[in-house]
Structure 1
Amino acid sequence: MKTDTIVLGAGIVGTSIALNLAERGRSVVLVDRRGPGEETSYGNAGLVERASIYPTAFPRSVKALLDVALRRNPGANYHWNALPGLIPWMFAYWRASAPARILDYARVMDSLLVHTVTEHQRLSAASGAGHFFREGGWLKLYRTEGGLASERAEFPLARHYGLTAREVSIHEALELEPSLRPVFTGAVLWSDPHSVSSPGGVTQTYAAHLPQLGGQVLRGDARTLARFGEGWSVKTEEGAVEAPNVVVALGPWAMDVLRPFGVNLPLQVKRGYHMHYRPEGNASLARPILDEEGGYVITPMQGGIRLTTGVEFAGRDAPRSPVQLDQTEILARGLFPLGPRAEAEPWMGSRPAFPDMLPVIGAAPGQKGMWLAIGHQHLGFTLGPITGRLLADMMDGVTPVVDPAPFAATRF
């Protein structure tokens, strides 16, 4: 089978790339070992962010570092045996989290974030996924005055980028979300983001639209990628597929495919967990709720109330250790009337991340016809559609919707 472009990875990023290319008349085959949206794109908090101009940065204060090291922060966990291999990456992550560099990050990331809601709206309208989406932003809760003061410090930069953040009282927060219990001291409503009731469902619906544009979705093993003349070949259940172009959008598995071709990038993973719960009685949520100091998000999903944890530094394939879920569940039950767990086992996924917290979007160094879209860290679901549009612009040789230079792989 011959096509113009093979896209490896049917998460939200790869699916969005395939759709953008197919919309422009390219023949595309989207390849994954599983169905679309069944890996990392399934297990997130379902946010279409517009307001995340501040990254999930490495702790800078001594107290914050000690809280993580001594496991006093429920938003972070680590495996001792993973740390030696992570030290160079974590040092680079720490450097990139310096206050001055955070401002650079905000400027660069806003160039993508300004398009996130509209690009999702465009794909959802074309594919029929609009019923998954809701407005209303998200609510951040703070248990201490110090935590709330830190959030207030973000308001000037938010206003600079045209974002709407409004501090609300406990009473106002409970009017917005009557099922919450007043165990917090203050809250901030960020109105610009949207959210969805099933990120996996959105990705699957997007992918189901690809055949209507002439593309195909096939099961296959990305690790079979090989050079074929001047192009590329990969094995699928329908046989080998050949193309002059290949896009690697494999998230945490990207380096398994890239290293054999000499493409070495400092990609690591931040693992996370989630669990669904039945709400007690008539309790409900209208939007995602972040308990900032509790280290978790609760959000209404089709499968129930989803609790998602913070970051676990561990090997991608290391045994599961959902201690953060157990810790944050206690806090979440104090905030919201969660009923019993709706699943036998917690879900676990890996967020692919570079130490500077920016994704790589563009050509692979030294590999003609290979393109990369990896390392979207905590914003993969948010950035999928705008990544697809940007990469399609680059592959078509037209003026990109966003300056791609900050996302080039050659920065490493």
Structure 2
Amino acid sequence: MSDVIILGAGIVGVATGIHLLRRGRSVTLVDKNAPGRETSFGNAGIIQREGVRPHAFPRDLQTLLQVGLHLSTSARYEPLALPKLAPPLLRYWWESSPEHYRRVVAQYAPLIGRSILTHADLIAAAGPEAEKLISRDGWYLAFRSPDRLEADIGKARADREQFGIGFEVLDWPALKALEPHLIGGLSGAIHWTDPWTVSDPGALVGAYFKLFETLGGTFVHGAAAGLSPEADGWSTLVNGTRLTARQAVIALGPWAPDILEPLGYRLPLFVKRGYHMHYRPAEGVELKHVLLDPEVGYAMAPMAAGIRITTGAEFAMRDARPTPIQLAKAEKAARELFPLGERVDPQPWKGARPCTPDMMPIIGKAPRHQGLYAGIGHAHHGFTLGPATGELLAQAMTGEETAIDIRPFRMERFLGG
């Protein structure tokens, strides 16, 4: 018997395991795939220290019409999924009202504040293999229209005043000097100076996983067939073998409902699916920094495998067939700004971001069972918040005072408790 079973070997599960091992707990980590190969793998590779404002549901008529008529690149929906998605999306819209959103931001900001600190801790412990993947010079929000640039500068100033977020403003000549191979069509950019970027997110999770193994953690490769409460803890069946532990952590991202619902936890979770593709740059061309084109809705990031284009949000069922329509639109828009070469990957990568209607993750104890914990629902910031979540869970599970107040992230907020 282990002290802890963790279901899910993405960045949240691996980080939680590391923090528990450091506290003297024995840990068994279970996943049907290799560590870090699902949601943790497919992102723009940003540790978003500036991301104090989670993605709200759009409330302006122009954006809603663009999404509703399938004109938007940043968001689209599958009509057949709407009946099942409608209840959590309606609550998402409600929680995005100005009054509610101000509360969400105030509660969310301290969690984002742990992002760089907790990644830095694991990077240092994981050693050169992790360190070589990291760049510490921020990323760029690049604007096509001067009006949108000015509006977002105002928001950035407010975030600097309230949360201490660092930024600089670049006009088009300064941005062109920084990225000389940009073609044009931009008015300028906001340079978020606090975040770090990663040239291979999956490899960084892999480096963290090696640290997990070095500390004595056990990995079991296989799908967990449920999770069952026992007299002295929890058990699960993996590849025909029963694993037991005194405590259990569900860190399965979009697959968490498969385990939670049989235990009686019906949470209003939904997914925002996303896609990415790698491209070779045109001959003699280089992209040096991560750029996000917010007026279209995609990111362009230099990665070890090539230039990665990542899409916005697709509201669809988790396991529905891929519909990489947004990727084609994003690629077309990106070629207007930068000389991309041919595609590198045989097929677009597809993943699912696990989301909650109030835009905040669930971190902490499940209220109806002893010894059951969850770290799920991080939406667009799972890669950013994985180590912070792992730290907080390990602290809660071992009776320590948590680094920040985790009461706003309790599961009970969705269960009427």
TM range (shorter): over 0.9
SS at match of 1:317: coil
SS at match of 2:242: strand
TM-superposed CA distance for 1:353, in Å, is 0.3
SS at match of 1:122: helix
CA deviations over 1:27-79 (Å, ceiling 9, x no partner): 00111001100111111111101001122111111111111111221111110
User: 1:9 corresponds to which letter in structure 2?
Assistant: G
Correspondences of 1:162-181 after superposition (within 5 Å): 162-181=164-183
Identity of aligned residues (%): 43
> Do the aligned partners of residues 392 and 406 (structure 1) sit closer, same or farther apart at CA in structure 2, a change above 3 Å counting?
same
TM-superposed CA distance for 1:236, in Å, is 3.0
Is the contact made by 1:294 and 1:328 (CA closer than 8 Å) also made in structure 2? yes
Is the contact made by 1:11 and 1:40 (CA closer than 8 Å) also made in structure 2? yes
Is the contact made by 1:121 and 1:130 (CA closer than 8 Å) also made in structure 2? no
| Residue of structure 2 in register with 1:384 after alignment | 386
Counterpart Cα distance in 2 of 1:307 and 1:218: 33
User: 1:277 corresponds to which letter in structure 2?
Assistant: Y
SS at match of 1:223: coil
| One of 221, 224, 236 as aligned partner of 1:222 | 224
TM-superposed CA distance for 1:156, in Å, is 3.2
Is the contact made by 1:82 and 1:315 (CA closer than 8 Å) also made in structure 2? yes
TM-superposed CA distance for 1:130, in Å, is 1.1
SS at match of 1:233: strand
Which stretch of the first structure deviates more once superposed, 291-300 or 280-289?
Answer: 280-289
User: 2:258 corresponds to which letter in structure 1?
Assistant: D
Is the contact made by 2:8 and 2:250 (CA closer than 8 Å) also made in structure 1? yes
| One of 371, 374, 380 as aligned partner of 2:373 | 371
CA deviations over 1:98-127 (Å, ceiling 9, x no partner): 223222222212111111112111101111
| One of 193, 197, 200 as aligned partner of 1:198 | 200
TM-score, scaled relative to structure 1: 0.97
TM-superposed CA distance for 1:235, in Å, is 2.4
Is the contact made by 1:55 and 1:102 (CA closer than 8 Å) also made in structure 2? no
CA deviations over 1:329-358 (Å, ceiling 9, x no partner): 001011111100001100000000001000
| Residue of structure 2 in register with 1:350 after alignment | 352
TM-superposed CA distance for 1:250, in Å, is 0.1
Counterpart Cα distance in 2 of 1:98 and 1:177: 38
User: 2:29 corresponds to which letter in structure 1?
Assistant: L
User: 2:219 corresponds to which letter in structure 1?
Assistant: V
Q: How many residues in Structure 1 have an aligned counterpart in Structure 2?
A: 411
Unaligned 5+ runs, structure 1: none
| One of 166, 182, 185 as aligned partner of 1:183 | 185
Query: Root-mean-square deviation (CA), in Å?
Result: 1.2
Correspondences of 1:117-156 after superposition (within 5 Å): 117-128=116-127, 129-156=130-157
User: 1:127 corresponds to which letter in structure 2?
Assistant: A
Counterpart Cα distance in 1 of 2:265 and 2:222: 22
Counterpart Cα distance in 2 of 1:179 and 1:53: 31
> Do the aligned partners of residues 204 and 376 (structure 1) sit closer, same or farther apart at CA in structure 2, a change above 3 Å counting?
same
User: 1:57 corresponds to which letter in structure 2?
Assistant: A
TM-score, scaled relative to structure 2: 0.96
Is the contact made by 1:289 and 1:298 (CA closer than 8 Å) also made in structure 2? yes
Is the contact made by 1:218 and 1:237 (CA closer than 8 Å) also made in structure 2? no
